[in-house]
Amino acid sequence: MKDDLTLLNDEQLAAVTTTEGFVRLIAGAGSGKTRALTHRFAFLVNELGILPHNILCVTFTNKAANEMRQRIHNLIGDRDTGYINTFHGFCVSVLQEDGYAVGYPKNFLVLDNSDIDSMLGIIYEERGLTLRDKTFADARDMIEIQKLFKKPDYYSDMIDMPLDALHDKYLAATQTDEIIFYGYLYQEKKCFGLDYNDLIKFTLYIFSQSDEIRLKWQKRLEYIMIDEFQDIDSLQYELMEALCGYHKNLFIVGDPDQTIYTWRGANVKFLSDFDKRYPDTKTVTMLKNYRSTPQILAAANSLIDKNSMRIKKSLVPTLDDGESVLVHPAENAEAEANWIVSQIRLLASQGVDYGNVAVLYRAHYVTRALEEAMLQEKMPYRIYSGVPFFGREEIKNALSYLRMVVAEDDLSFRRIVNVPKRNIGKRRMEYLEKYAQEHNCTLYNALKKNLDDELFKNTKANSFVNFVERFACDAGSYSVSDLLAAVLNESGYESLLRTEGSRERLDNLAELKQSVRDYEITCGEEASPAHYLAHVALFTNADAEVGADKVKLMTVHAAKGLEFDYVFLCGMDEGIFPSRKIKDMLGMEEERRLAFVAITRAKKRLFLSYAEGRNFDGSPRYPSRFILDIDENLTEYTQKPSDSLIANARDYIRFTEKYMPENADGSVFAIGTRIKNEYLGEGTVTDIDTERRSYIVQFDNLTTPRMISFRAKLTRV
C-alpha cells in the first residue's frame, strides 16, 4: 500500500490521507478522482485497520459501483468491500434488513418503469381512463411530482393505512390525477412494491421513526464517501445527513463544472456551499489533468469560462502537446456523417483501433445520417444507451406503413394493423392467419375478404382497408416524402405518438422525413416509394461487421465518466447542441457544462463538426455557440466559415438570449445596422422602440419605414 501511495501526486495524497471529519474534494475532469477514492478506501482498511463493512462508498451508477468494487478488491485483497453502491442500492440493503419496521417483507419488489406501466394499465382499465386523459409517461411524472413535492407524506398512507382503506380512497377519487395516484399507491402496497423514490423516502421514514435503527446504521458506517456530489439531489442529501450524524466522517467528491443533471433534481449548491453547512470542512482541489492533451484542455477551459455562475478554475495539463482541435463545417448532415467516417477510416489506416474512437451527440436522432454512412462503408459500430435509428419502434412502424401501401406484405400487416388500436387482436389475427393459409393469400387479402364477417363487425378493419386501398391506388402520384407524411397522418399513427406525449419519438419521425427528402435530392427522377424502401433496407438490415473493435456511439450524458483516445462531437448546431428546448440562462449554462463534459472525454484528439444549410422547417442552421465560445486560436478549421455566417450566428445567439427570462428586454441590432428580412428584403435600422420591443426599419424597396418586432427573423447583411 505504501508503494501505491508514492504513485499519487500531492493533492491526491492529501485526499487519501485526510481521513477524519468533513472533507470536500473538488476534482476536475481527468484529475484522478477515482484513483483518490479507491486508494482512500484502501488506506482506511490497510493503514487504519477499518473493517470494509463499516465503510459506505456511494456512486451514481451500478456500472461505476461494480468497477469501483473490483478496483478496491484488488487493493485490499478482501472479498468484503463494504457498501459500495448507489444511494438506491444502499437503501435496498437498509430496507431488506429493517423494512419490517414499516411492515414490508425482506423480499419486497423494486419497481421499474415497465412495472409501473403495468400497474397504470390496470388502473386505467378499472376506472375507464385512456391515454387521452393522461399518457403513461405523464402519469409517471405526475406520480413522481406528487411524491416529492405535493404529497411528501404519501408513505404514511402506504404504511399506516390498511389495504382496504387505501383501496376505498382510490375508488372515492374523482379527479384523474387523484385516481391515478391513489390507484398506484394501492397497487404498490398490494404487492409490497417500492419504486426508486420510495426507496429513499421509506429509508428516511424508518430513520425518523426509529432512533434505534438510525443509530445502528450511523454507528455501523464509520466512514462515508460520496462520488459525483455535484449531482446529488435533496432527498439524497437528507439521507447523507442522517447517516453521518454519529461519526461525522464524510468525504465528498465533485466538480461544479460537470453538473449536468439539474433537470433530475441535482443541486450544485450542495457541493459549492458544503463548507457553509459544515464550517470545519477541509477542502482539497485537484486540477492536474492526466487524461487529455494541452490542446483539448485549452479548448475545454476556454469554453467553460464563458459560464458566469461558477467557481473560476482551469484544468492544468500534464501531458505533452498533441494535435489541434479540428472543426469541420459540413454542407449538410449527410456530408457531416461522411466526413466523420472518412476521418475514422484515416485513423484506422494509421493503426488506431475502432474501439478507441467515440462519436458523441446531444440527441439520439442525430445518429440517423451517421449510421447510414457507417453501414454504407461497413464500418463496425455500437450504439450505447440507445437503439439504432432504423431499429427504433417508431421508425420501423412508419416504414411498415409505407411498405403496406406499396407491397401489402404480411410482415408490415402484422406490425401495424392494430397500431393505433383497431380492435384486431390475437383472436382475430389467428383467424386471418388460418384463412390466409387455407386460401393461399396474404393476410391483408384475408382481411378484405372477411370484412363482412361477424367477427370484424365491431372493429376498425373497414377503415384500415379503405386507407390502404386509397393510398395504394394513388401512391404513384405522390413524392416519397409526401406519401410518407400523408400515410403517417391519415393512419393516425403520428397522432398516437402526440397523444402519448413522446417528444423523442416525434423528433425521430421528423428526422426520418428529412432523410426521405435527402434521398429524393440524391436520387432525382429515380426516387419512388419502392426504390426508397429497397434503399433503406440496406440500413435496417444492420449489416455492420461484428466484433469487439467497434466505434462507440453515445449521447454525452451516457459518456459521463468515460474516456476515449479520439472523440468526434457531432451535431454542433444551434438548436441541437445547445438543445432548442433550453429557455433560460440556467439551462444554457448546464448545456455548456454538458459540452465541457463531452470535450474532456477526449484523450488524444478532439473533432467538432456541424452542418450548415437549413433545418427541417426551412430556417437557417448556425454553428453552435459552444464552438464560437472557444477562442479562435485554439481550434483549426478544415474550411473557415464565412464572416457573414459567423456574424449572423452571433446575432441569432444574442437574439435568443435577449428573450431568456433572466435578461432584460433589448435589441440585437444597433441603429444604422444593415439587415435583411426574407420577404421584405434588405434595409437599415433607423430607430429602436425598446418599449414596444421593435425596430424602425427603412427597407430599400419600400417608400415608408416599417416597425419590425425584435422577434422577427432578421439577419445582418
Active site residues: 33-34, 227-228, 258, 601
Q: Is 350 exposed, middle or buried (0-12, 13-18, 19+ CB in 10 A)?
A: exposed
SS3 (DSSP) at 407: helix
Q: To the nearest 10°, report the CA torsion of 87, 88, 92, 93.
A: -20
Q: Is 103 exposed, middle or buried (0-12, 13-18, 19+ CB in 10 A)?
A: exposed
Q: Is 618 exposed, middle or buried (0-12, 13-18, 19+ CB in 10 A)?
A: exposed
Give the span between the Cα atoms of 614 and 220, in whole angstroms.
Answer: 61
Q: Is 362 exposed, middle or buried (0-12, 13-18, 19+ CB in 10 A)?
A: buried
End-to-end CA distance of the chain: 66
Spacing of C-alpha 73 from chain mean position = 32
Give the span between the Cα atoms of 692 and 665, in whole angstroms.
Answer: 10
Give the span between the Cα atoms of 268 and 237, in whole angstroms.
Answer: 11
Give the span between the Cα atoms of 569 and 607, in whole angstroms.
Answer: 6
Give the span between the Cα atoms of 429 and 439, in whole angstroms.
Answer: 15
Q: Say if CB 341 and CB 374 are below 8 A apart.
A: yes
SS3 (DSSP) at 58: strand
Locate 393 and state its grid cell.
Answer: 419502434
Q: Is the dihedral of CA 585, 586, 589, 590 positive or negative?
A: negative
∠ CA 677-682-685, rounded to 5°? 90
Locate 205 and state its grid cell.
Answer: 421514514
Q: Say if CB 369 and CB 538 are below 8 A apart.
A: no
> Which run of H or of E encompasses 3?
helix 2-5
